[in-house]
Structure formats: C-alpha cells, structure tokens
Structure 1
Amino acid sequence: MNIDENLLYSFGAEDKNYKKRESVFREDDHAIYYFQISEGKVKLNNYNENGKEFIHNILGKKQSFGEAMLFLNQDYPINAICLEDSRIIRLPKKKFFEMITQNPDLSLEMNACLSQEIFYKLKMMQSLASQNPMQRLKGLLDYLKSYHDEDCHQCFHIAFTRQQIANLTGLRVETVIRNLKKMEKEGMLSLQDRKILY
C-alpha cells in the first residue's frame, strides 16, 4: 500500500531513519504503527529452530508493511529488518484508524493490497509445496514478474541475490544456482553479468 506521504504527516506520522541490518520490529513485538518505506529496502523474515532464515518478502520504496497486525491486534509473527539505510514513515495505530475512518477510499485500497498479499502467500505456498526446485523458482519468478507490465521474454530483471532467492523459496543457495543454470539452458531465463533476466 502506498498512502500519500502528506496525508500521513497530516495525521501525525513521523520519519524514522534506520541503518542497514537494523530492525524495525521483531517477532513477538506488539503492533503499534503503520509503516511505509520512504527510502530503502526492508526484508520480512523469521528463523526456524535450526536458525535457518526464511524470507517472506522484500519491500522497497512506497511499500508498507505490518498493517495487517493492526487490524488483528496481534503481535508480529515476523521480523522487519532493513537491507540498506532506510527512511521509514510510521504512523501510530490510533492515528492510522482515524485516517482510515476519515478517508474511506483508503479502506478499499487497503483491502486490495491485503488481498494481493494473500494471493502472494497462496501462490508461494503452492510453489513451496513442490519438491521440484525448478518449480519453486518458477513460482517465485512468475509472481515477481506479475507486478510489472512488461510483456517480454527474458527482459525482467530479478533484483534479488541468489541467497535471497534461496531464503524466499526455502532452498539451499547451491540448489538455486544449479537450477537457475538449468532454467537458462532450457531457455526459461537469461543469466547476464550475474543478473537474472526473466
């Protein structure tokens, strides 16, 4: 979701600067703010009992996160960690609900964004259920490309590292590298100067 920054500020939002690797919130923190990225990148993740990271999403400029927990009055089930120095707008929960009440069109937009998140989770669950690593990768790449209007073959740049792709798909980085090369041989994508073009 991308709410006009001036509207957020008019309801009392503030900018907060975060350093690379700094946490915006941690798993089990109580949800008390609406967050929107003004500059930078944030990953949503958690770790299993063996310490292996699973990335739920990587978000950038003009994207929001954590708002679903405001509606549920639940603690966060994930961490939000900055991947680079970031400036994030945060609006207290009470003010967030005032803003939504006074601007009902935002509710429709928020429903669309939350629906998109659910769609993403369902598509990823479907891909992750596959034992075939190539199918998992294809599911992720198809989803990422679906956000862009380009209707071209092998022109969409996947702006994630191999490690991030591994953490998004639950695969080992070696498996990701091996299967990306297979996908290139089969003509499904191009690998140019360490870039993945899909």
Structure 2
Amino acid sequence: MLVDIDLLLSYDGLIETFNTSDIIFEEGEVPKFYYQVITGSVKLNHITEDNRELIQSILKDGQSVCELLSFIDKTFPVNAIAISDCTIIKVPKDRFLQLMDDHRQAAKDVQRFVAERLYHKFIMMQNNASKYSHVRIEGMLKYFKSFTNDQSPYSYEVPLTRKQLASITGLRIETVIRSVKKMESEKILQIKNRKIYF
C-alpha cells in the first residue's frame, strides 16, 4: 500500500466498493478526495473528439488515483473507471494534506510514487512518439511493469487486452496483434494462454 489504510482511516477515510464499469470520478470534476485502490483495478481514460478511448493508466492494489490533484486546484483531466470489482479508500483532500504534514514518511512515499510515475510517463510519451509500433508497446509495458517488485523477464502478466493496448499506444488493434507476435518471436515477451508476460 502506498499509504497505510489505518492511517488513511484515521484521517476520515471512507471505504467504498465499485462494480466493474462503475465511474469513480469524471473528467472535469473538481477533486475533493485523495483516492487509493485497496483491491481491484481502475483505468484512467479520456475520450477523444472522434469518440476513441485513450487509456492513460491502469492502477491496481495499493496505488493512488490521480494523487497529483490533491496538491493543486485543477479539475480531473481523465475519468476513473473500475475495470474489475474494486474497493477504494478516499480521504477528504484537506484531511489528506494534513496527513502529509503530520506524517513525514507517508509524505515521502507519496512524493516518490509521484516522481516515479512522472518519470515513466515521460518515457512512455517519448516511446508513443515513435513511428515503430514495437517501441510504443515495449515502452508502455515497461511503464506498467515499473510498478511491480519483480522485474525479472516475463514476470509481469499484462492485465490489458489487445484492444486496451491499442488504446494506450494509439495504434490500431491489428497492428498491436502483429507487433506482439513479432515481439514474442524476438523473445521480448511471452504469450501463454493468450496472456502477455513481459
């Protein structure tokens, strides 16, 4: 867990459950809470003007959701949607900021998480600018794997469909399918029972 659940509860944290496809918050809303996933998965997405989904991130157990907006007064630039049944703890923004002031180690953990996410986002953006599909896909896989403890080859089971990979990288689904097969033949990733391991 990024921030200890009991600590979040002691600062007026509320635990909520969401079903698959439930909206946690929507683009344009004013953030009133700090959100952290206890169990389940959440996607951050944006719908483009031509009605295509652009997935910005997939968050799992223990990760925070748009924590940057706890520190600034801006509206959400993305939607947060449950992609599995999930449990989330949310803490009122003012209480979360007080928690950060009161607990130095928790504040350092959040700062480090934000810094690592931003670093890997920059790398992913650079990769997404590539004209080569395999560079885009590998960059995105490295980004998601960066949040796991086990960095050994093929240890990360990619929790995304080929369609979601296409949404994240801006590629067509057919291109993703071809590229993933080529990456498997080059031993960059493995496919077992239609699941990608990176």
Output the TM-score relative to the length of structure 1.
0.93
- Aligned residue for 1:141? 141
**C-alpha contact 2:70 2:97 (8 A) present in aligned 1:** no
Please tell me the residue identity of whatever aligns with 1:124. Answer: M
- Aligned residue for 1:83? 83
**C-alpha contact 2:21 2:83 (8 A) present in aligned 1:** yes
For 1:42-191, list aligned pairs within 5 A.
42-150=42-150, 152-191=152-191
2:21 maps to 1:21? yes
Task: Give the share of equivalent positions with the same residue, in percent.
Answer: 34
* Cα-to-partner distance string for 1:122-153 (whole Å, 9 max, x where unaligned): 01111001011111111112233334454543
Please give the secondary structure, in 2, of the residue aligned with 1:72. Answer: coil
Q: 1:41, CA displacement in angstroms?
A: 0.9
Please give the secondary structure, in 1, of the residue aligned with 2:77. Answer: coil
Q: How many residues matched?
A: 198
CA distance in structure 1 between the aligned counterparts of 2:69 and 2:9, rounded to whole angstroms: 21
CA distance in structure 2 between the aligned counterparts of 1:28 and 1:151, rounded to whole angstroms: 36
CA distance in structure 1 between the aligned counterparts of 2:154 and 2:22, rounded to whole angstroms: 34
For 1:25-36, list aligned pairs within 5 A.
25-36=25-36
Stretches of structure 2 lacking an aligned partner (at least 5 in a row): none
Counterparts in 2 of 1:4 and 1:125: CA distance versus 1, 3 Å: same
CA distance in structure 2 between the aligned counterparts of 1:136 and 1:94, rounded to whole angstroms: 38
**C-alpha contact 2:29 2:76 (8 A) present in aligned 1:** yes
Q: Which moved more, 1:19-28 or 1:99-108?
A: 99-108
**C-alpha contact 1:54 1:167 (8 A) present in aligned 2:** yes
**C-alpha contact 1:38 1:88 (8 A) present in aligned 2:** yes
Stretches of structure 1 lacking an aligned partner (at least 5 in a row): none
Please give the secondary structure, in 1, of the residue aligned with 2:71. Answer: helix
CA distance in structure 2 between the aligned counterparts of 1:52 and 1:73, rounded to whole angstroms: 28
The Cα RMSD (Å) is 1.5
Counterparts in 2 of 1:48 and 1:91: CA distance versus 1, 3 Å: same
**C-alpha contact 1:31 1:66 (8 A) present in aligned 2:** no
